[in-house]
Each structure stands twice: as structure tokens, then as C-alpha cells.
Amino acid sequence: MQFVIRRLGFYVVAAWVALTINFLIPHVLPGTPVEAMLAQHPQLTASAVKALDLQFGLGHQGSLLHQYGVYLDHLFHGNLGVSTAAYPATVVSVLGNTLPWTIALVGSATIISFLLGTLLGILAGWRRGGRFDQLLPAFTFLQATPYFFLALIAIQLFANDWRLFPGYGGASLGVNVGLNGPFISSAVSHGILPAATIIVTSMAGWMLQMRNVMITTIGEDYVLAAEAKGLSTRRVMFTYAARNAILPNIAGFALAIGFVVAGALVMEIVFSYPGVGYQLYNAVTQDDFPVMQGIFLAISATVLLACLLADIVYVIADPRTRRRAAF
Amino acid sequence: MAVAVAVPPPQSAAIVPRRGEFLRSMPMKAKIGGGILAIFVLIAIIGPAIAPYDPSATNPNALAAVGPTAQHLLGTTSTGQDVLSQLLVGLRSSVLLGVLTATIATLLSVATGVTAGFLGGVADEGLSLVMNVFVVLPALPLLIVLLGYLPNSGDLPTAIVLSALGWSWGARVIRAQTLTLRSRDFIAAARETGERTWRIVVFEILPNEVSLIAANFVGTFLYAILTSVALAFIGVANFSTWNLGTILFWAQSANAFSIGAWWWYVPPGVAAALLGTSLVLLNFGLDELGNPRLRDSSGRKRRHQRAWRPTDPTPVERREPIA
């Protein structure tokens, strides 16, 4: 119980840090959203500037502490401000339109990548120097390649040259977004190429870690004992060796999720996928600071939730460490 | 007392081999990775001097991007700029950013990791909390937002922001290693002989973490290269300078991919991939140095020598048996 409270305490602190960084960036760094708008529209009058200052609530009024209080108050009421680029849309509505796309696509790609990479790692570590082990250098090269470079080549080949999959957007323009057949099939076919590129580039990390821990684990006496008992190779491999070797992979999920999010941001920009990453890109190019910050908050919250999930799975998977944290 | 200090601690003598042996004992992967990396570092140093053209010089007569010719070995961009020169000049900035980021981040992780692991108690609790928070903060979106507020920043501000967000993982690993080292006998012995804390840290703990610190440096280098290239592609970079990311950015914005100008986008992409792969290979090698069970991937060697068992004494260094 003390362990659970400690971990929850950690997540509260991490969330608070993310909130506070998000608050401090625009207040400490030079320039405000209003100044950014002014740079785009130099003809605005002084009274218009004042109105904007009040509207966006990010002008320098009151003490820093007072502004911090206002910011937290707005946050807890679900008020993330108003988009300067898509005025008068609120940041929350912008997030609501984009977040489901990202979570559906990146979530499923991450799970497939984790399962596939871990399985390949088990096979590679079990028979080292074998067929599966030989795949590792190729995947490593793919992982060390800038993601967008691979993705652009994939679009060129699979979408433009061979016309196998669409390489642009989240679904065809004509279909209505919702739970209907045409939309789902269109969304799935649009998701294949982005998901495949994420999986191919992120698999090496899972595979390498699983392989290395697997190699260390099959040297343990209990694996030798299991083999001596005459258990089937499959049983020794999966329920004895892999069962224990997988723990660091689960623990590494917290770190990996950060990279997945980063890769996903670039993916959405390359594929013009209508998720938060593409939205963030648009916000950067349009100096839409409220949206930028709202997306940073949403991503932080998602990462923290994923870490919490990894924590819970780790505690279930490894009974020895009920008192220790996953990361 | 002076006599006791004069005797060198046996552990550090056993762990740090003589220079020639160290190089030979390096795994093959590390040698290949180190070799490729050395070539890139060399290009980063002399690249701008040997570049045949000014990378930004445009040719007013250029009509379209032209493939490789004798004058332009890697072809030109659609405005007639020489791609090879861009690459030679741009590598310096990319490598410099990687080295800067890796240096700052490694210093940060060693300082916090060793302090937390060695002091323990409240200091450890506090520093660990900070590390864990930084591990879960999503770096790329924060970088985009931060660098979005600091437009046209040079290499140093970018390196500082990158390392501020990239030090925490290494710090956690170093802290864990320091924790296990702290309870070893030779540290206790050093304490008993009255060595000062800073001496124990610098001469007893750090030499035993060299491979870990090196791996951390290499990992951060890779992170910095990949992240800076991705940031430049997104458009959050200083576009008045040349680096791998900005070359790719201009290639992409001029539709080099759809017009099939492969000489424009393949060289910078492959250069980044090769640089990244050399760093990964180097890290594999360092991993094998630290974990001897990962060595000997060729089956032939294993048949003649017994495979490592967990009950074996910790192997510090593999020597061929004297015939």
C-alpha cells in the first residue's frame, strides 16, 4: 500500500512539473502570443492589442503567482484557452478533434511493435547467431535512420509509384467521420503505411533489449534445470526464459513511450495525418501558442498514463518487486 | 598512514588493462562503429575546407535539380547549389551539436547520478524524483514548444535544451551502478583508510563506471543527431546554417522526393543513418564490454570454450588461454 501511494505521489509530482513548465515557458521566455499575432498583423491598433491581451489571458497582468493561480484555475475547469490561428475555436475542441486519431493509430502501432519486437528478440536470443539474430543489424540500421527520411521514401514507393496504399491524410475526403463501414475501411487503409513505418523503425529497440536479457537469462540455472527435466523447447523458451527476460522490456516501456510519441509527431507531419502531431506542427508554423501548449499538456498526460499502465503491468508480472517501481 | 595510501587498490588495477590490450579486446562491432565515427569526425573537422563550392551559392542559370556530373559529384539542388558541398559543410554542425549535447548531458548525468547513488538518503530521494520526472516528460513536443519560442537559436542553445531533456536516463543508470559499487569492499576499505569523499568518487567509483559513462555519451550523441534532424525537418531550426536536417528540409520543401531527385535527399539521409548506425554499433560494443555474456556470438568459439555460467566469478577481461 505504501508502495502504491509513493508511486501515485510520483505521478502527481510529474504531472505538476509538466503543468508548471507549460505555464513558465510563455511567461519566462521573451515574446507573448499577442506579440506573435502582432507580428503577423502589424496594422492592429493599441486598443485591439489590449483586447487581445485580455482575450487570451496571457498578457503580463498581475504578479507571476497570480497568473499561475489563474492558469491552474482555468486548467481544472477544462479551459485551455482559445486558438489564435483557428479563432474562436477553443484548444479543447481542437484537441478533441485530433487526439482520437493519434491514440488509435499510434497506440495500435506501438502495441504491434512491442509484441513483434519482443517475439523476435526471444527467438534471436534463444538461438544466437541464428536466422533471427541476423535480422538485428538491418533493424538497427532502420532505427538509426531519421524516421521522416524512411517515411518519405515509403510514401514515394508505396503511395506514388506503386499506388498500393494512400500516403496522405487520415481518411478519404468524401466519407463521413463516424462508425460506418466506408469510413472505417478508408481509415484503416490510410493507417497501414504510417503504422508500418512506425513499427519497422521502433521494433529494433524492443528486439535488442529482449535479445540481450534473453541471452543473460538462458545462462541461469533454472533454465538448465527446466531443460534437464525434458520440457519441450517451446515451454523452456517462453515460460521459463522469456517469462523472466521480458521484465526489463516492460520496465523500459516508460522510456520507449517518449520515443514513440516523438516518432509519431514526425509521422503525422510526413503523412499529413490529422492527429495532435500534425496539429502541433501547424500550431508552430502559425505561432499558435495556446494550441502548442495544450498539445504539450495532452501528450504529457498520455505519456504519464502509459507509464502508470506499465507500472501496473510490471507489478503484476513480477511478484518479487511489489515494493519496487518499474522505472 | 602514508604507507597505506601508497598501495594502489587492486580492483582498479585489474579493471583498467594496459593500452594495447584494451584496443585488441574491443569487440568487432565497436571497432567498426568507431571507425565509421572517426571518418565522420574527420569530415566534420576538414569538411568546410575541402568543400568544392560555397554551399549557399546559387546558380542563376539553373533550371532544375541536376544529377551527378563531373563538376558536381552529388548533383545540384533546383537552385544550382552543390549538394556535396552542403553535405561537407553541414556535417560539422550536426556532429558539433551531437558532441556538445552529449558532453553537457553526460556531465549532468554523472554529477546527479553519482551524487544520488553515493550519498543516498534524502539527497537520493530528491534527485531520483527529479530524474524520474525528466524521464517521463515528452522531450520532442517540449523541444518544439521551447525552440518555437526561441527562433533562430544557434547550436549552443539548442544543445543546452536538448541535453536538459536528455540527461535523465543516463543519470538513472549511473545512479544504479553507483549504488551497487558503494557497498563493495574496496569502497569500504578506502573509507576506512580515511580517504576523502571526492577522492573515493573520482579515483574509486568513476573508473569503474567508464564503460557505462561512455555508452551514455554515445547514446546521447545519437539522440541529439536524430532529434536535431527531426526538428529541422519540422521547421524548428536555424535555416541560415547548413546541417543534415536543413539540407533535408530544403530538399523536402522543393519536392525533391516527388521529382525523383535522389542525389539531393539520399546522401544526407544515408549520412545521418550511417552516423547513427556507427553510434549504435559502438554502443553494442560497449555493452559487450560491460556484460561479457553478450560476447562471442560466433558459435565456433563457444564449442571450444565453456559457456559462461552465472556461478563463475565475475569475468573482468577475456584472455586467450596460453597454449
Count chain A–chain B contacts defined by CB atoms under 8 A: 157
According to the model, what pLDDT value does residue B149 have?
67
Nearest to A25 among B149, B235, B298 (CB): B149
* Joined grid coordinates for residue A222: 533454472
Q: Among B23, B211, B184, which residue's Cα sits nearest to residue B118?
A: B184
Contact A265 B144 (CB under 8 A): yes
pLDDT tens digit string along B77-88? 777 788 888 888
Q: CA-CA distance, A166 to A271, in Å (whole number)?
A: 9
Which pLDDT does position A29 carry in this prediction? Answer: 64
Which residues in B lie closer than 8 A to residue A262 (C-beta atoms)?
Answer: 138-141, 227, 230
Burial call A30-65: b when 16+ CB within 10 Å, e when fewer: eebbbbbbeeeeeeeeeeeeeebbebbbbbeeeeee
Poorest-pLDDT segment among A91-100, B53-62, B299-308: B299-308
User: Residue B141 and residue A146: Cβ atoms within 8 Å?
Assistant: no
Calculate the dihedral angle through the C-alpha atoms of A174, A179, A185, A189, rounding to the nearest 10 degrees.
Answer: 80
Q: Does B265 touch chain A (CB under 8 A)?
A: yes
The mean pLDDT of B118-124, rounded to a whole number, is 83
Selected for mutation to probe chain B from A152, A255, A276 (highest B CB count within 10 Å) is A152
Q: Is the pLDDT of residue B151 over 90?
A: no
* pLDDT per residue as tens digits for the range B253-280: 887 777 777 888 888 888 988 898 888 8
Question: Are the beta carbons of B269 and A26 separated by less than 8 Å?
Answer: no
CA distance A144 to chain B (A): 5
Encode pLDDT of B200-245 as tens digits: 888 888 888 887 888 888 888 988 888 888 888 877 777 778 888 8
pLDDT at A265: 83
Cβ neighbours of B130 (radius 10 Å): 15
- The mean pLDDT value for A83-110 works out to 82
CA atoms within 13 A on the CB side of B204: 25
Give pLDDT, residue A39.
63
Nearest residue on chain A to B284, judged by CA atoms? A208
The answer for B 197-226 residues in CB contact with A (under 8 A) is 222, 226
- What does the pLDDT look like over B131-145, one tens digit per residue? 888 877 777 777 877
Are B229 and A295 a contacting pair at CB < 8 A? no
- Give chain A positions within 8 Å (CB) of B261: none
- Tell me what the pLDDT averaged over chain B comes to: 77
For A147-182, b where at least 16 C-beta lie within 10 A, e where not — what string?
Answer: bbbbbbbbbbebbeeeeebbbeebbeeeeeeeeeee
Dihedral sign, Cα of residue A161, residue A165, residue A168, residue A172: positive
C-alpha cell at A16: 505538476
Q: Measured between CB atoms, which of B136, B234, B276 is closest to A281?
A: B234
Please write the tens of the pLDDT for every residue from A112-136.
988 998 899 888 888 877 788 888 7
Residue with cell 567508464: B210
Whether residue B272 and residue A149 make contact (CB cut-off 8 A), yes or no, is yes
Task: Check CB contact of B276 with chain A, cutoff 8 Å.
Answer: yes
Residue with cell 554529477: B111
Mean pLDDT of A81-99: 78
- CA-CA distance, B5 to B173, in Å (whole number)? 30
For residue B307, list chain A residues with Cβ-Cβ distance below 8 A: 219
- Using an 8 Å CB-CB cutoff, list chain B residues near A292: 144-145, 148
- Gap between the Cα atoms of A254 and A248, Å rounded: 11
As beta bridge partners, residue B82 has B76
- Within 8 A of A280 by CB-CB distance, chain B residues are 141, 144
Average pLDDT of the segment spanning A38-43: 62
Residue B12 near residue B203 (C-beta atoms within 8 A)? yes
Q: Is the pLDDT of residue B3 over 80?
A: no
One-letter identity of residue B293: R
Tell me which of A2-6, A196-200, A259-263, B70-74 is least confident.
Answer: A259-263
A238-287 pLDDT, tens digit per residue, is 888 888 888 877 877 766 676 666 667 888 888 888 888 888 888 877 77
Best mutation target, B145, B249, B314, to test chain A (most A CBs within 10 A):
B145
pLDDT in tens, B30-45: 888 889 999 999 998 8
Using alpha carbons, select from A163, A199, A146, A200 the residue that is nearest to residue B265.
A146
User: Is the CB of B135 inside 8 Å of chain A's CB atoms?
Assistant: yes
